[in-house]
Amino acid sequence: MGSNNLIIDKLQNLFSELSLVLVANRRGDIDYHISEVKYVVKILNECKKNNYTDSGNIINEIKSIYNNLYSTRGGLSDFFIWKADFDERIKANEPLDRIGDEIWKILK
């Protein structure tokens, strides 16, 4: 399995996990982001079904979508899970932070 294939597999897992976190904590202002994350999962699944054909271009497309999702204003970089208790809020946001960090490390 080539390095792009491993990247596709890792991104598929991370974006699937991100989708679950966002849907579980849905607010109206992130509906667009949820749909984009689900689209990324769809194209990653299709890439895997097609034996990773065109994986380099798929990764580039995902980089572009990622940059839009994590824009400096109004993107997922501003999103967090609210809990009244500070410690609960930190714990609730750990998966979101970890996923975002891992995706960034892959796509930077």
The predicted structure's pLDDT at residue 74: 76
User: Hey, CA dihedral for 71, 19, 15, 52, is it positive or negative?
Assistant: negative
Query: What is the number of structural domains in the chain?
Result: 1
Q: What's the domain range around 77? A: 3-107
Tokens of 104: 């960034």
The predicted structure's pLDDT at residue 1: 58
Residues 96-105 have pLDDT tens digits of 999 999 999 9
Residues 66-96 have pLDDT tens digits of 999 988 777 898 899 999 999 999 999 999 9
Residues 6 or more apart whose Cβ sits within 8 Å of residue 85: none
Mean pLDDT of the chain: 94
pTM score, whole prediction: 0.92
